[in-house]
Amino acid sequence: MNNKIAALGSSIEHGDGKPTAASYEVFKLLKDRLAEQQSALDTVLNTDLPTVNKRLTDRSLKELVPTKTETKPPTPAPAPAG
């Protein structure tokens, strides 16, 4: 999904004129698909996450907390000295 949105944005940015009718159509399709996926994620977070968190706390583990911040990739471990 992310790649498709990025490709659409790139296509629009590189043109000299206004976006084509096809670009608007693709945007609408991607927007609708993104809304469906966001709704599915919201459903999981609202219905399944409390059950998962209950199981975690029953085992003295930390709950999962939804966030909108991007998780940074882990920093690779330094190579062993040779």
Check: CB of residue 64 under 8 Å from CB of residue 55: no
Q: What is the pLDDT of residues 48-60, one digit of tens each?
A: 999 999 999 999 9
Average pLDDT value for the chain: 91
SS3 40: helix
- The per-residue DSSP string of 34-78 comes to HHHHHHHHHHHHHHTHHHHHHHHHHTT-PPP----SPPPPPPPPP
Is the pTM here over 0.85, yes or no? Answer: no
- pLDDT tens for 20-31 read 999 999 999 999
